[in-house]
Chains A and B, each alone.
Chain A
Amino acid sequence: MARKPYQEEEDVALSMSPLIDCVFLLLIFFLVTTMLKKDLREVEHLNLPISRSSLEVPPDESVLAIAVDAEGEIYLEGVPISIGQLLGELREISATRPDQRIRLDTDENTPFGPFVEVLDALSFRNLRNVGVRTYHEKFD
């Protein structure tokens, strides 16, 4: 005699195990996709130049971010700053923290003049620990 499919319906109980599995799956999904990101004091409107030869460096909170946007405006730690003020800041940094790590962020359309001006100021102040930030699909 064929067994009626719903005959033992009363015996069917919802198992918690698959639900727990699902919760864990969701948790793993969020763990994988969520990124605890440090505030990089970035200039948001910068369109970083693409580079395939860039290297991934571990994030470092002590790095000093200097940015030059497409208009040639200069930013220090995400805050707009004039070249005169920047020169003063660099002078102080070179006296107190000569090994300061510096990250130079530029837009792909940043004019070369202001970029060289900033680089020259860094070089003259003997701040040699300078890196240029670029965009790489693999690391971003």
Chain B
Amino acid sequence: MNPYLQRPLLIAFGVAALLSTAFGFLLYVNEDLRRSTFALIVEEETEDGEKVRKIKIERPEPNKEQVREIARNREKQKRKELERKAKEIREVLIEIERAAEIRKRELDSETAWSRLAQMAFRLERLTQDLHPVLTRQRQFRETPALKEDAARIRTLAKRNADSMRKLGSEDLALEGALAQLSDTEELAAQTTTMRSILSELYEGFSSNEQRRAAYGINLAEKVDTTAAEYLAELSRLIYQDPALADAGEGLTDKSVEDARDLGESLASTEEESAPPFESSAPSEEALESMATGELYQSIQEMTQAVDEAFTENRAAELAEVEKIPLEAARDQIYRPQTDTGPDLAEKLDGEAPSNLEEYNAFNETLDQAAQAAEQMARTAESRRDQVAGTQGEAAENTRTAEEMRQALQDRAALRGQMAMAADNRGRVKGNVQDMRAMMAQAYQGGGSQNTPQGMGGEIRTTNTFSQSSKKTPEKVRLDLDKVLDNAIPSRRLDQTSERQGWIFLDTWYVIGPWNRPKGVTFADKFPPETLVDIDATYTGKKDAQLRWRFVQTENIRINPPDEAGDAIYYAYTEVFSERQREVVVAVASDDLAKVWINDLVVWQDSGFSGWRVDEGFRRILLKPGYNEVLVRLESGPGVCHFSVLMCPVDALM
């Protein structure tokens, strides 16, 4: 080959080598260039739903019109997401606000019923005091009619107080209320008769006898007056209820009729003054017509409203359970504040992007808004679950206010019953309390047997355990050393758990210390009792900033970090159960402790006792899936630790 012909080849080689070296060197020294992309692999979904990967090569910069067109399309796409989230939050808001409203209205009538129950209780006590006076005191025992009257009055008053307690905790059924009214009428008639007999007797007494009989006479007068007041109050309340008002036709007593008139007039006044429920949420049409920025702002506002409604719900619930005024309950309740994301409304509603740089910024803003909306919707959903008391499916929108009221009322009553069963005060060491039935009811909607679904719907638990399980012993004795040696650290209960026996919960998020207030134990509520938010920070003892701390230990006893005397800590964890499972829980604490499982109190120990695993046992029901466990630990002047052990009932038997 002609050597001269090779020269261009050499030159070309030289140029290529030079270019390659220069480019390689550039790549080496310039990281930005090294990281720059000329093409992207993107995954797209075809019309058939098939996912295909494509190499997308970046095109030259589009012009202003093209950028605006792309931005419009992108905004349309993200707007749909925002709209969907806004509607979800709106639904949650309406539901929580409705629940809060019903609770608050319920609270007013609840107070009246509680007052009535107290009256019935007072009457019962008075009749109990009166009975021995009339049957044993010489001045009265000679009159057989009086003796019979006293016995009958005592029986009626007792029956009345019992059923009133029942009526206070359950819903007011028509038959029950009328029977109560009829009983009360008889009681009032009896007391009036007794009073007239006594008056006659009194007139026949000598002055000496009159002095001796004065106590009995006064007592009888008090019984009669209280019975009359009680009858009037009961009638008023019954006829305030429109459903019950029509049923009192057959009653002829004058006072009852007067009371009915009064009740009716009160009911009509209240009906007029109580406005129909109106949510603060904007309508769906309004949401659809909003600009993207406005829509985002509306999502933020609705999220804040959800927080407020959630707080109102918690306050009303606390007021209901603790029998305290709503205002006082509000002061005790922690007000959670959801992170409503960055303020993007102005950016979203600003001028449309005119170049690629502005488009990228706009696109990023849209992504941020969608992400924040997603987070807010999720938080709202969790608030609704907490208000409902269960987690899972959304409640049906078609449920009526009456059904919801019923569910909320049942739930409050159930909580009261559970709090009583959970209390370990005055109980012997090793006592066992069976809480399965109450928990099963709570999981199924918090209601009585005739309300299969309460607010929040859910849940896959069944009510068949009572037939299948063995009887709960009143007391259990454990070989403590054996239990402590063999207990394994775990938070999951599966098929192997029946063989393994006792487990101790080893992983917790712990927060504290807060200052332990003097006075009634467990009376002051701290934020975790309202809401467990692992990301939240609070101000605690000595103005220290408190955060949830992750604690995992091989030791059965959990020591809170930053241990201090006279302090309060909260510990939170979850337990997973493959299926609905009955377990025995043993809580040991130094000093005081209160334990909630799935927001239901299962243990309360208010004694300053040392750490003992066999202080008491609770037979409980875990729902399938994740079960939330919250512990409130109060320490005295000394050390402070707690432990929660669980054992499947089958393993224990």
Contact = CB atoms under 8 A, between A and B. Distances in A.
A25 interface: yes
Nearest to B2: A12
A22 B12 CA distance: 7
Contacts of A61: 43
A18 B9 contact: yes
Contact of B550 (A22, A33, A36, A117): A117
A36 B55 contact: yes
Given A19-B12, A36-B39, A124-B574, A87 B534 contact: yes
Interface stretch (A50-58, A78-86, A101-109, A128-136): A78-86
A15 B8 contact: yes
Interface in A25-70: 25-26, 29, 33-34, 36-39, 61
B331 interface: no
A116 B552 contact: yes
A99 interface: no
Contacts of B37: 37
A85 B535 contact: yes
A2 interface: no
Contacts of A39: 40
Interface centre among A12, A84, A113, A117, by most chain B C-beta atoms within 10 angstroms, is A84
Interface string B134-174: 00000000000000000000000000000000000000000
Contact of A33 (B9, B13, B27): B27
A124 B507 contact: yes
Interface stretch (B15-23, B95-103, B424-432, B467-475): B15-23
Contacts of B43: 61
A126 B574 CA distance: 13
A82 B375 CA distance: 12
Given A26-B19, A79-B371, A85-B375, A14 B8 contact: yes
Contacts, number: 63
A120 B20 contact: no
Contacts of B24: 33
Contacts of A82: 534-535
Given A19-B12, A22-B12, A38 B20 contact: no
B491 interface: yes
B378 interface: yes
A80 B24 CA distance: 35
Interface string B553-574: 0000000000000000000001
Contacts of A22: 12-13, 15-16
B4 interface: yes
A25 B19 CA distance: 12
Contact of B20 (A21, A29, A88): A29
A25 B20 CA distance: 10
B37 to A, nearest CB: 7
B576 interface: yes
A18 B13 CA distance: 8
A84 B296 CA distance: 23
A10 B140 CA distance: 153
A83 B533 CA distance: 10
A18 B41 contact: no
Interface string A73-96: 000000100111101100100000
B5 interface: yes
A61 B16 CA distance: 37
Given A15-B5, A15-B8, 14 more contacts: A18-B8, A18-B12, A22-B13, A26-B20, A33-B24, A37-B37, A61-B43, A79-B371, A83-B534, A85-B535, A120-B550, A124-B491, A124-B576, A126-B492
Interface of B: 4-5, 8-9, 12-13, 15-16, 19-20, 24, 27, 37-41, 43, 55, 371, 375, 378, 382, 491-492, 507, 533-535, 550, 552, 574, 576, 626
12 contacts: A18-B9, A22-B13, A22-B15, A38-B41, A39-B40, A61-B43, A83-B534, A83-B535, A85-B375, A88-B378, A120-B550, A126-B576
Q: Which 3 A-B pairs have the closest CB atoms?
A: A84-B534, A18-B9, A84-B535
